[in-house]
């Protein structure tokens, strides 16, 4: 049973940067995808970014250019570099794993981490 553990969240001022990491407890197979979602208070969980085993990436249109997703297959780890952070980026960020379904929908993912809090102050 794979487990996902997020790290790197915290408090940052607007305009600052954070780098989130998600480590999988076990090796993943080919054709997997890992994604980041976020959920702000009172809001539904929304897609942030995803990356396939091959390196192909996808981003929410509103975030592309500020956020960059990457992965290290050997370490079973995915990263989310977040730059130019805004207060509206404040949310719990979740890492998730799927095995070949769509990238941007919650229902496509099979495993989820517990989330890491990102707070951006103005």
Sequence-distant (≥ 6) Cβ neighbours of residue 32 within 8 angstroms? 52, 53, 97, 98, 99, 100
In this predicted model, what pLDDT tens digit does every residue of 80-110 receive, in sequence order? 999 999 999 999 999 999 987 889 999 999 9
In this predicted model, what pLDDT tens digit does every residue of 53-86 receive, in sequence order? 888 999 999 998 999 999 987 888 999 999 999 9
pLDDT at position 28, please?
Answer: 67
- For residue 75, CA distances in Å to 28, 50, 51, 58, 78 come to 10, 17, 15, 21, 9
- For residue 62, CA distances in Å to 7, 46, 48 come to 23, 11, 9
Per-residue pLDDT for 29 more than 70?
no
pLDDT at position 22, please?
Answer: 96
Place of tokens 């794993």: 97
């Amino acid at each position: 049973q794979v487990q996902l553990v997020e790290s790197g969240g915290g408090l940052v001022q607007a305009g600052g940067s954070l780098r989130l990491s998600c480590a999988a407890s076990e090796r993943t197979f080919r054709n997997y995808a890992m994604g980041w979602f976020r959920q702000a208070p009172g809001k539904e969980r929304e897609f942030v970014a995803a990356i396939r085993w091959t390196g192909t990436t996808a981003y929410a249109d509103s975030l592309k250019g500020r956020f960059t997703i990457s992965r290290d297959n050997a370490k079973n780890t995915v990263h989310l570099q977040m730059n130019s952070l805004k207060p509206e980026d404040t949310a719990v960020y979740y890492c998730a794993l799927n095995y070949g379904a769509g990238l941007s929908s919650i229902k496509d993912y099979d495993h989820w981490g517990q989330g890491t809090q990102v707070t951006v102050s103005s």
